[in-house]
């Protein structure tokens, strides 16, 4: 009898946790169970808003494929395999926990794309976050480096000059850049050009240093050094 009672208690606690996560962190819940939020599976690793036609689904798959190629080319292979959740409407994106951003990496394991993020640049940016953290393991980099590298790999023309033009900086860093995620979010909400500043710093850093060596050193327990 007590085993049944204990089992029922454990089940109730687990159910309550699932409900809490679903309400408080819908993006986490949606990436764990896309179908629970109405998304339809196009193929392994890609779930999209229901009701899309074949052309729309193909376009979303092409965006993900392009992002995968860019990230794989930069890192020389892939160690991550994130799930992509793609929405064609704001209603869908809000339902799975999205906000005003174009896209977001969730727990460094999945990528959510809004209607404004259905292009290779945004998908590559978020995929880069996932791949970088898969390679870092328990290592870490300052948030400005994380974001600047994502801009660099995605080759985002909003924040970098075209490749081949020497110094790619559009905006010089105006003092120390945000080190933590909280500080970064605050800075980015006040001025989106902090992305350009971070991209400038990272592009200059990678011109002098090997990012692959850095990642390997940090994954092995080393500390980040700006120069």
pLDDT of 20 > 50? The answer is no
Structure tokens that stand for 142 in this block:
């300052």
- pLDDT the model gives residue 23: 39
CB 116 within 8 A of CB 102: yes
Q: H/E/C letters for each residue in 32-46?
A: HCHHHHCCEEEECCE
Domain with CATH 3.30.2010 in the chain: 19-132
Is 19-132 a domain of CATH 3.40.50? no
pLDDT tens string 148-197: 999 999 999 999 999 887 899 999 998 999 999 999 999 999 999 999 99
φ, ψ of residue 42 to 5 degrees: the values are -85, -40
| Residue 192 CB contacts under 8 Å (≥ 6 apart), including other chains | none
Mean pLDDT of 19-31: 65
């Amino acid at each position: 009898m007590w085993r049944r009672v204990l089992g029922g208690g454990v089940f109730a606690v687990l159910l309550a946790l699932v409900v809490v996560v679903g309400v408080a962190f819908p993006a986490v819940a949606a990436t764990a169970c896309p179908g629970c939020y109405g998304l339809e599976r196009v193929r392994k690793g890609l779930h999209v808003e229901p009701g899309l036609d074949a052309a729309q689904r193909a376009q979303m798959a092409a965006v993900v494929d392009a992002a995968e190629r860019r990230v794989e080319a930069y890192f020389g292979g892939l160690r991550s395999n994130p799930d992509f959740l793609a929405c064609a409407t704001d209603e869908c994106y809000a339902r799975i926990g999205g906000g005003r951003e174009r896209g977001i990496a969730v727990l460094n394991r999945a990528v959510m794309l809004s209607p404004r993020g259905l292009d290779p640049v945004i998908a590559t940016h978020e995929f880069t976050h996932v791949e970088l953290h898969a390679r870092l393991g328990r290592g870490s980099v300052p948030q400005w480096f994380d974001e600047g590298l994502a801009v660099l790999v995605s080759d985002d023309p909003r924040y970098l000059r075209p490749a081949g033009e020497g110094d790619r900086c559009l905006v010089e860093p105006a003092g120390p850049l945000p080190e933590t995620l909280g500080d970064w979010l605050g800075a980015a909400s006040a001025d989106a050009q902090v992305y350009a500043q971070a991209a400038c710093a990272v592009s200059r850093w990678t011109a002098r240093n090997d990012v692959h060596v850095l990642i390997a050193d940090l994954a092995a327990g080393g500390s980040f050094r700006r120069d």
